[in-house]
Amino acid sequence: MGHCAAIWEQRASFELTKDWNGIDEVVVLRNPKGASVRVSLHGGQVMSWRNDRGEELLFTSSKAMIFKSPKAKAMRGGISVCFPQFGKCGSLEQHGFARNRVWAIDHNPPPPPNPNPNDSTSLGKSFIDLILKPAQEDRPHGFELRLRVSLALDGNLTLISRIRNIKNAKPFSFSFAYHTHLSVSDISEVRIEGLETLDYLDNLCQGERFTEQGDAITFESEVDRVYLSSSQCVAVLDHEKKRTYIMRKQGLPDVVVWNPWEKKSRLMTDFGDEEYKQMLCVDGAAIEKSITLKPGEEWTGRMELAAVPSSFCCDNLDPHLNYF
């Protein structure tokens, strides 16, 4: 294993390339097996995650508007960062400003505050560190948001966000989500495991609280829910593709599940009428209980995604296990 890691580290690299429209920079991470991840500096948004067979694992709308100016909205698809607000719960634009801003590459990120000796976040991985600092008018103002996006040798994608309240700033509170658009073969063939029996807030019923009735979640109409206090592991099973996405998370107790279904899809200008069939949003999030940071404090939210053959899941997945 040590030998493999050494070879991998020599080869680990990322390329910095210009986006298709020549305006926004995109970082491309590759692993030696051919898996890749593309991250835009616009929004710190993950735009693509491909496995070693070149299959795209994230959904992007064919009508997605690619950022055409620094003020452009987030692209419809991939994984975007919702900060400091989730949805419309606050005075800011939907899902906060972080996904609409141009981030910078962080060439010298500070070490994590409480390093875990077993944490191999950077070991054997290709990664990029990005940073977002507040604009003059931003509230909260005293934050620094760091995002590490890494691609492992096994093709797993990990996002680690660290939000710090800088010294001498006022305490502030925020919500957070990794707005994750998974690519699925057919939404009616998909089910989510790991959220059974949980309470959820239903955004289609003014945020009213309900309890899931104990079955895996399947889809036959619009869904827009925030599942509360979930375990660290959630699985999305795609029967037709025989593929399972496994989401492991830390610091992100909630899980948003969203599919606009037919009627709402038609109202979205950057989304095809039929594309709801090929997309499912499952977001690792901290929404119900907002996070509060005093000056000098830091919060970390980590989400790891794996895409494995479904046979792996049946035999090996226990959503209640601690995978970290």
Ligand X SMILES: O=P(O)(O)OC[C@H]1O[C@@H](O)[C@H](O)[C@@H](O)[C@@H]1O
Known binding-site residue numbers for substrate? 76, 94, 99
Question: Which one of residues 24, 193, 224, 238 is an interface residue with ligand X (CB under 6 A)?
Answer: 224
Reading the block at residue 79, the tokens are 């994984």
- Is residue 203 a contact residue for ligand X (CB under 6 A)? yes
Query: Rounded to whole angstroms, how far apart are CA atoms 154 and 221?
Result: 35
Query: Rounded to whole angstroms, how far apart are CA atoms 36 and 240?
Result: 24
How are strands ordered across the β-sheet holding 208-211? Answer: 13-18, 25-30, 36-40, 46-50, 79-82, 172-183, 279-293, 254-259, 223-227, 199-202, 208-211
- Is residue 284 a contact residue for ligand X (CB under 6 A)? no
Nearer to ligand X, 165 or 265 (CB): 265
Nearer to ligand X, 129 or 275 (CB): 275
> What single-letter DSSP state applies at residue 77?
B
Query: Rounded to whole angstroms, how far apart are CA atoms 168 and 166?
Result: 6
- Is residue 87 a contact residue for ligand X (CB under 6 A)? yes
* Residue with nearest beta carbon to ligand X: 258
Phi, psi at 235, each rounded to 5°:
-120, 140
- Is residue 254 a contact residue for ligand X (CB under 6 A)? no
Question: Which one of residues 72, 94, 122, 207 is an interface residue with ligand X (CB under 6 A)?
Answer: 94
Reading the block at residue 117, the tokens are 């000796």
The nearest distance, CB 275 to ligand X, in angstroms, is 13
Segment lying near ligand X (by CB under 6 A), choices 9-17, 36-44, 87-95, 140-148? 87-95
Nearer to ligand X, 256 or 307 (CB): 256
Collapsing DSSP to helix, strand or coil, 262 comes out as helix
Closest CA to 37 of 21, 52, 22: 52
- Is residue 256 a contact residue for ligand X (CB under 6 A)? yes
Binding site for ligand X (CB under 6 A): 87, 94-95, 179, 203, 224, 256, 258, 281, 283
